Structure 1
Amino acid sequence: MPAKLSVNINKIATLRNSRGGNNPDLVKAALDIERFGADGITVHPRPDERHIRYSDVYELKKVIHTELNIEGNPVEDSFVKLVLENKPAQVTLVPDSRDQLTSNHGWDTIKEATYLKSIIPVFKNAGIRVSIFVDPVVELVTAAKECGTDRIELYTESYAKHFINDREAAIKNYVAAAKEAERVGLRLNAGHDLDMNNLQYFAQQIPNLDEVSIGHALISDALYFGLQNTVQLYKRQLG
């Protein structure tokens, strides 16, 4: 089966917040994105609520028909409360600092193993699938399994950055990490800077890929191609 496409709608919330009010309507956009063929909706609320607001999550949870994926750093008690009260299909744990512009690294699943082993069961015991953000390093993937997570999400910024110059070199570490995930029994997601230029090759080289989460590039492309068409274009890249 092709990997599923979860669309991150943070950028739609950013546009809404820039003028106040409710234009564009975030909930309507999410429902439309589902209707256009997306397999899930991703949100990454941050403590300052500069794009997705915590209240948005409650509203989205009421109406989403596909999978809701909530990303964030569980060191924030407010984030843990938000996830447990909404019970999304998946929570993706990301080691962002409070004022970070965007995600830029995964967990050190070796050094931070004690913490991850304590926080992951908080969500799993509530019936929520857990994925953790990980760099494409075989040892970190092995350690992620030992931390008890259900899935890992490979942080793909490095792949995207080097894809144009040498795609075979760019994908090498990701293939190794994906093989290790399969070996130890972890399901596999990926995300960050994936776009219409590099997504198809990534999906072809990572056959055990379950899901990609894409926001910035997809919403940017929608300015030119339209939202419905863009969702379908990205789905086609996944095969």
Structure 2
Amino acid sequence: MTKLSVNVNKIATLRNSRGGDTPNLIQVATDIQHFGGEGITIHPRPDERHIRYQDAYDLKPIVHTEYNIEGNPIPKFIELVLAVKPTQVTLVPDAEDAITSNAGWNTKKHESFLKEVISEFKRNDIRTSIFVDPVPEMIEGAVSTGADRIELYTEEFASEYAKGNLKAIQPYSTCAQQAIDLGIGVNAGHDLSLDNIKFFKENIPGLLEVSIGHALISESIYLGLENVVNMYLHRLK
């Protein structure tokens, strides 16, 4: 079974656009879990343009499924994760001015740094995942860091799938199997949607979790949040 973790960053973006508390992030996260969502993901950035650091603390008591915090492991982020102690931390090498994540880690180049950060999280019983491109060398590097899982960066797949290029799944399938063979778990995320999630799931061995935010919230504008969460769950089965 592949778990669906819903990224609620876009809810925070909408809330922040008016400066108030509508929509209420805590209520939405509560409802998503009630609707069947199997995890809540947030990705706080230093400028707090969507998820605020305080949101991470406020969500902790109400997330009874899996709590995943993504981000670049700068000192402030590390401090936050160690204080909140989510189920999982996903390390993403996004620049401070990036609109959204746009590349995976070079796990060879940054192996020493990642090892140090990951060992600290694991000492605190926090599962660790590294955001990576579907490149065999990067999978090998991720294993060397001591991470529990990788998260495959799926933008290239989503873009090519939309053009009808089904062969774009091959690097992801290959790297997922490689990760399994090396004893590391497989997550995935970025631009996965109702259109492509079933095909992706069917072709990725051992897929443990997908983290979906932008598409899911956008689709919910037309179809409703409860309906969309269950449409994803159906496709992932």
SS of match in other structure, 2:156: helix
Count of equivalent residues: 237
1:79 aligns with 2:71: no
Counterpart contact for 2:2–2:209, Cα < 8 Å: yes
Cα shift readout 1:36-77 (whole Å, capped 9, x = no counterpart) = 000000000000000000011101001111111000000x21
1:135 aligns with 2:133: yes
Partner of 1:114: 112
SS of match in other structure, 2:191: coil
Runs (5+) with no aligned partner, structure 1: none
Partner of 1:36: 35
Question: Displaced runs of 4+ in structure 1, greater than 2 A?
Answer: 164-168
1:89 to 87, 90, 99: 87
Cα shift readout 1:67-110 (whole Å, capped 9, x = no counterpart) = 11000000x21111110000000000000111111000000011
User: 1:185-196 maps to which residues of 2 (within 5 A)?
Assistant: 185-196=183-194
1:98 to 96, 99, 123: 96
For residues 93 and 64 of structure 2, the distance between their equivalents in structure 1, rounded to whole angstroms, comes to: 28
2:207 to 201, 209, 217: 209
SS of match in other structure, 2:150: strand
Deviation at 1:207, TM superposition (A): 2.6
Deviation at 1:139, TM superposition (A): 1.3
Deviation at 1:111, TM superposition (A): 1.0
Q: TM-score, normalised by structure 1?
A: 0.98
1:218 aligns with 2:223: no
SS of match in other structure, 2:51: coil
SS of match in other structure, 1:62: coil
Q: TM-score, normalised by structure 2?
A: 0.98
Question: Sequence identity, in percent?
Answer: 56
Partner of 1:157: 155
SS of match in other structure, 1:142: helix
For residues 234 and 63 of structure 1, the distance between their equivalents in structure 2, rounded to whole angstroms, comes to: 22
Partner of 2:174: 176
| Cα RMSD after superposing both structures | 0.8
Deviation at 1:167, TM superposition (A): 3.9
> Match for 1:152: what amino acid?
I
Deviation at 1:219, TM superposition (A): 0.1
For residues 75 and 108 of structure 2, the distance between their equivalents in structure 1, rounded to whole angstroms, comes to: 23
Deviation at 1:194, TM superposition (A): 0.2
SS of match in other structure, 2:60: helix
